[in-house]
């Protein structure tokens, strides 16, 4: 992700701020999320529905500023996602990509079916990331994910 940022695309992708109630819910859920994340000390899993600004326009993303990952395996949760996908401390997905960008930034992703290229999900995360690294799930083998970052 250490690529030059294209300002005109990122301003169009800037997420809306989070309301106060979502911040309160995040604080209340933090111990549970720490446990579900396998007690890891790095950034906690915070991809709750209210953190995701969905259905962004993938054409606004500069392809030169994306990193594409191919899923690694369909061994777990084939063909569908559930909340357990985000719980490596239980039976969740353990395949990650570590991305680096200049903080603060917002991470976003576009998930496509491998082969057809059909968009299954397009999201920009509403929480700013203040670390230079972010650990993102790679996904199952039948999907590919384009990650991008935008300025806060």
Instruction: Give the chain's end-to-end CA distance (angstroms, integer).
Output: 16
pLDDT for residue 95 is more than 50: yes
Asked which of 29-38, 41-50, 110-119 is least confident by mean pLDDT, the reply is: 41-50
Q: Tell me the whole-structure pTM to 2 decimals.
A: 0.73
Cβ contacts of 39 within 8 Å, gap of 6 or more:
89
2 part of a folded domain: no
Q: Which pLDDT belongs to residue 138?
A: 76
Q: Would strands 67-70 and 143-151 be described as parallel, antiparallel, or unpaired?
A: antiparallel
How many other β-carbons are positioned within 10 Å of the β-carbon of residue 93?
21
Residue 56 lies in a domain: yes
Average pLDDT score over residue span 70-80: 61
Per-residue pLDDT tens for 35-53? 776 666 665 557 788 999 9
- Both structure tokens of 34: 């720490």
3 state SS for 99-136? EECCCCEEEEEEEEECCCCCEEEEEEECCCECCCEEEE
Residue 92 has phi, psi (to 5 degrees) of -75, 180
Identify the domain containing residue 19 by its residue range: 7-151
Total domain count, the chain: 1
Instruction: Kindly state the average pLDDT of the residues 112-123.
Output: 94
Asked whether residue 1 is domain-assigned, the answer is no
The answer, yes or no, to whether residue 23 has pLDDT greater than 80, is yes
């Amino acid at each position: 992700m250490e690529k030059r940022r294209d300002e005109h695309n990122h301003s169009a992708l800037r997420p809306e701020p989070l309301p106060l109630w979502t911040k309160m819910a995040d604080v209340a859920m933090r111990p549970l999320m720490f446990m579900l994340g396998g007690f890891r000390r790095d950034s906690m899993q915070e991809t709750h529905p209210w953190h995701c600004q969905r259905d962004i326009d993938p054409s606004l993303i500069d392809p030169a500023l994306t990193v594409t990952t191919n899923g690694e395996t369909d061994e777990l949760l084939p063909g569908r996602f559930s909340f357990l996908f985000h719980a490596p401390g239980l039976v969740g997905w353990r395949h990650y990509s570590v991305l680096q960008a200049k903080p603060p930034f917002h991470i976003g992703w576009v998930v496509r079916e491998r082969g057809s290229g059909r968009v299954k999900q397009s999201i920009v995360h509403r929480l700013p990331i203040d670390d230079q690294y972010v650990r993102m799930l790679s996904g199952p083998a039948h999907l590919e994910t384009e990650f991008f970052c935008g300025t806060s």
